[in-house]
Structure 1
Amino acid sequence: MTKMFTLATANASSALHNGFATLIDATIASFYKVNEPGATVIVTCNGATMFRKAYGMASIANQEVMTPEATMRLGSITKQFTAVSILMLIEEGKLSLTDKLVEFFADYPEQGSQITVEHLLTHTSGIVSYTDKEEFDANIAAELSVAEVIDSFKNDPLEFAPGTDFKYNNSGYYLLGALIEKISGLPYAKFVEQRIFLPLDMSCSYYEGYELSLQRAAAGHTYCDGSFVPCDPMSISQAYSAGALVSNVDDLARWENAIVSGKLISAANWTRAFSPHRLADGSSCAYGYGWEIGTLQQRPMLAHGGGINGFQTFALRLPKDQLFVAVLSNADFGIVDPGYVAHKIAAIAIGKPIQDFKEIKLDANVLDAYVGVYTVNALEQRTFWRDADQVLMLRTGGDITPVHPYSDNEFFIKNTLVHMEFVRDTTGTVAKVVLHQNGEVNENLRVAA
């Protein structure tokens, strides 16, 4: 085991030293234009910074060039810090994973008696996510108290019995922030500042609006009517412990070093945070406590992304390679997915680059063979249709997405890790589409032409 660990680390380190930094730079530069919103990127291996650079503009309105030190909203990467805060309080004996929600929130409806702290950490509570509700976007600029946000979802029926299913849920992590405040006696913003950021020398990390010093903050943008403009306003009170933290790539590297060093919590709890949670039926979901769990090029990977007004973010770690990559970008739409960039970088760093697909042209009659409706699950479908020489895809509740052919029956989505294969039955009729993403394979059966 030790020999494998050392070898993997050596491979990643030597790849970065042997000209791969140049390749990483060339790969990233192709995604960002100098006069548009950009990104900051860091790559560390075995605790040492191997690559660090900024691309694009920090502010289009002020014509400020992006710098590596720029701070940005993290969005849901915040959840890592919330989860570790909860584990710190557990180690202090102030709560446990099996404690019920109603033990701390006496006015929470009866369904709170079924929901545990661990359900909240693992997105298995069944609580409706407040950010999925129709009124969320319309009221996103309103300054609300913690109690007011909780009141907006606590009386909704559960989507499933706690512990029986997984559904990503911002309400659970909002409740965890309220729990941290109730148990510690500190505002969430002050808890993460005093218990995490200051001890780890993360001087550029803070709850938005609670900066301890002047920061070089990038402006958030969105893409509208053919150009990038300032992002829509929002009250950070509505992100709170599910997404309100701000940081930069240097501090995220410090966070990674703290994790590797086993700081803040015990080794057992770090292991628990990085282990896939098991549902009531014994099946596992690809989520621990604040981290998604998967693979990259057959290597174990821990990761999380974030999306919030004006910003998209992604950070991943490959523990066996001691490799860490963070990409923070200052546009919430119209810019390459930072998760895609981070995966590409990490794969290059370990010497196993992700395949680049090249688009080809197919005749209309070939494309028409794939048009139809395909079942994703009991509630969702995936529809494909042709518009001139372009195939478009729409998943229930999603956005219309162009898909591009790279063979007679295989397609990809540009600047993502998604590619798919249309499969025919014995009669030659297209019967299903098989989607590949991040090492996961999903089959969608065709139900209508």
Structure 2
Amino acid sequence: MKKVFLFLCCSVAYLSFSQIAEDQDVDNIFAEWDMQVPGAALGIVEDGKLVYAKGYGSADLEHDLPITPSSVFYIGSVSKQFVTFCVLLLEEQGKLNLDDKIQKYLPDFPEYGAPLTIRHFIHHTSGVRDYLTLMYLKGRDYLDNSDVDEVYELIKNQKELNFTPGEKYLYSNSCYFMLAMIIEKASGRTIKEFAANNIFGPLGMEHTQFYDNNLDLVKNRVFSYRKKSNGIGFDNLIMRFDLVGSGGVYSSIEDLYLWDQNFYHNILGKGGQDIINKMHKEGVLNNGESAGYAFALHNDTYKGLRTVHHAGSLAGYRAQLLRFPDEEFSVIILANRADADPSSKAYQVADIFLKDKLKETQHGKKESEPEEEEISRTQEFDLSNIDLKAYVGEFYSDELDTTYKIYRDDDSLKLIIANADPKVMMVKGVDVFEAEGYRLRFNRSSDEVSGFEFDAGRVTNLKFEKQ
């Protein structure tokens, strides 16, 4: 008996010291934020329990309020998985079908020569241009309030898609903004009401909501910040943004723990794991290949272990929900500073807790750019023969109802996008320029510049005509 007792005492002591070491290692990851600066809330879930929940830094610099596991953050695109779950619940209720055309619920949405379905929207294979990018290109600040009808009109005003639906994957917030509208049409309730009654309420997520009215109060809300341009102090990013679908959810570590656990034992809708299995099913492109994106979830692997994850960001908010389903282990990080990288820190936490299960892997080189891009960058052309004056002028896009200006500044061209600061245009080929990541491909008529097509990541082939 003495030997057994001694063994148990040693075991308890070993576990305690081991846990203390893990806690210290975790705290070291967040040490730079464990003071009167914006920081983050951390939740670590293991075997069904929230084994670690802590706040680092300040939730409100003006009132010196600390971040806690109960602090409520804007979670950005992590919100999208609640949208897809709403869609699947409505499918379960027989109120919609994933292969329904978008126009069944939004009859005024344009036809683009190929069917656009709910499934395309879920997996970002629609080709519909991203509204946040369009708003920036139009000169709107996402921190300001934007009316739902105004945003919808902007999306509808686009005369073409980025690509044929199903041809490829390209992330588009427009899709989820419109999915929220479809949920309202199919259910007869706003997504705020539907999610509250069918997800947040049943799971006991008392501090989680789709925030669709910026006049509403949010208890325990954390405010978001970014470092000042001089690196000293922080700017308060006051956000009046209240569009839902593409984002819009406010939540806490404690509430997201409840959501995380429902993936193992679903109690929502009809119950059971069928709906959970659907959440992990990736979209399929027209060529039969995977789109690489499930129902607002990324299926992946990390050092030999299967992962499911999604990140989110807007203003100074940053979020990551990372799950290792086979290990029943999750890391939830919600941050309130624009320079935060919760995804990187989530994997650092996993390295500590799963060190005995992870396999060291070599990271391969980044994929090279598409061949056609390389060709355009390596074409031979003589800079001395380029007439910069030919590109000077004002250019109008009726899809944005906005005019851009190109002017000459000494030996360079500069581009003014709406009311943004001028951007230097760099020559990349014959009639091809880039300006801080944007690409302009100029068109000519009778050898005179007549306009250009504009590529901006999630928006391509936006047409401008010279005035």
- So what's the TM-score if we normalise by structure 1? 0.72
Residue 36 of structure 1: aligned partner: 37
Q: Secondary structure at the match of 1:307?
A: strand
Q: Give the whole-Å Cα distance in 2 for the aligned partners of 1:229 and 1:15.
A: 39
Aligned counterpart, 2:148: 146
SS in 1 for 2:155: coil
Q: 1:24 to 1:173 in 2, by over 3 A?
A: farther
Gaps of 5+ in 1: 1-13, 358-373, 384-395, 400-449
For 1:164 and 1:214, the matched residues in 2 are separated by 41
Q: 1:31 to 1:271 in 2, by over 3 A?
A: farther
- The verdict on how the C-alpha distance between 1:248 and 1:112 changes in structure 2, with shifts beyond 3 A counting, is farther
Deviates more, 1:200-209 or 1:172-181: 200-209
Name the structure 2 match of 1:444: none
1:34-55 CA distance string (max 9 Å, x none): 1211100001112111111111
Partner of residue 233 from structure 1, selected from 229, 233, 238: 238
Residue 61 of structure 1: how far off its partner (Å): 2.2
Mapped pair 1:130 → 2:131: yes
Q: Is 2:272 aligned against 1:271?
A: no
1:242 maps to a residue whose letter is: S
Which range is displaced more, 81-90 or 43-52? 43-52
Matches of 1:268 and 1:301 in 2, distance apart? 19
Aligned AA for 2:154?
A: S
Q: What residue is the counterpart of 1:377 in the other structure?
A: 370
Classify 1:125/1:379 alpha carbon distance in 2 versus 1 (closer, same or farther; 3 Å): farther
Q: Is the 8 A contact 1:74 1:244 kept in 2?
A: yes
Same amino acid, percent of matched pairs: 25
Counterparts of 1:234 and 1:213, CA distance in 2: 13
Query: Equivalents in 2 of 1:237, 1:136: separation in Å?
Result: 19
Give the alignment partner of residue 175 of structure 1, picking from 161, 169, 178.
Answer: 178
Deviations, residues 119-142 of structure 1 (Å, cap 9, x unaligned):
111111110011122336624244
Pick closer, same or farther for the CA change 1:279–1:328 going to 2, 3 Å.
Answer: same
Superimposed CA distance per residue, residues 306-360 of structure 1 (whole angstroms, 9 cap, x where no aligned partner): 001121010111110001110000112x33x000011111222111579899xxx
Q: Secondary structure at the match of 1:138?
A: coil
Indicate the SS of the match to 1:237: coil
1:95 positional shift: 0.6
Preserved CA contact (<8 Å) 2:214 2:242 = no
Q: Secondary structure at the match of 1:304?
A: strand
Aligned to 1:292, which of 286, 291, 298? Answer: 298
1: distance between equivalents of 2:17 and 2:54?
14
CA pair 397-127 structure 1, distance change in 2 beyond 3 A:
farther
Contact 2:253 2:333 in 1 (8 A): yes
1:304 counterpart (302, 306, 310): 310
Kindly tell me: are residues 328 and 112 of structure 1, through their superposed partners in 2, closer, same or farther at Cα, counting changes over 3 Å? farther
Residue 155 of structure 1: how far off its partner (Å): 3.2
> 1:155 maps to what in 2?
157
Q: Which amino acid aligns with 1:259?
A: F
Partner of 1:316: 322
Aligned to 2:103: 102
Indicate yes or no: 2:335 matched with 1:329: yes
Q: What is residue 452 of structure 2 aligned with on the other side? A: none
Does the 8 Å contact 1:146/1:237 carry over to 2? no
Separation in structure 2 between the aligned mates of residue 261 and residue 375 of structure 1, nearest angstrom: 42
Matching residue's letter, 1:229: F
Tell me the TM-score normalized by structure 2: 0.70
Matching of residues 43-442 of structure 1 within 5 Å: 43-111=44-112, 114-133=115-134, 134-135=136-137, 138-156=140-158, 157-208=160-211, 209=213, 215-225=219-229, 226-238=231-243, 240-265=244-269, 266-332=272-338, 334-335=339-340, 337-351=341-355, 375-377=368-370
CA contact (8 A) 1:32 1:38 kept: yes
State the distance in 2 between where 1:271 and 1:178 align. Answer: 25
Give the Cα–Cα distance (whole angstroms) in 2 for the partners of residues 16 and 302 of structure 1: 31
Does structure 1 conserve the Cα–Cα contact (< 8 Å) formed by 2:26 and 2:352? no
Conserved 8 A contact 2:312-2:320: yes
Q: Is the Cα–Cα contact under 8 Å of residues 214 and 241 in structure 2 kept in the other structure? A: no
SS at match of 1:227: coil
- Alpha-carbon distance in structure 2 between the residues aligned to 1:221 and 1:241: 23
With 268-277 and 196-205 compared, the bigger mean Cα shift is at: 268-277
**Structure 1 SS opposite 2:250:** strand
- Secondary structure of 1:120's match? helix
Q: Deviations over 1:226-276 (max 9, x none)?
A: 1343443333234x1111110000000000112211222552231121122
Question: Structure 2, unaligned stretches of length 5 or more?
Answer: 1-14, 378-433, 438-467
**Contact 1:15-1:349 at 8 Å conserved across structures:** no
Aligned residues: 356
Q: Is structure 2 residue 26 aligned with structure 1 residue 25?
A: yes
- CA distance in 1: counterparts of 2:298 and 2:21, whole angstroms: 27
- Name the larger-Rg structure: 2
CA RMSD of aligned residues (A): 3.1
Shift of 1:26: 3.3
Q: Which amino acid aligns with 1:189?
A: K
Secondary structure at the counterpart of residue 196 of structure 1: helix
Contact 1:124 1:163 in 2 (8 A): yes
1:102–1:112 Cα contact (<8 Å) kept: no
> 3-state SS of the aligned residue for 1:280?
coil
Q: 1:66 to 1:142 in 2, by over 3 A?
A: closer
Distance in 2 between the 1:130 and 1:296 partners?
A: 32
**1:27–1:211 CA distance, 2 compared to 1 (3 A):** farther
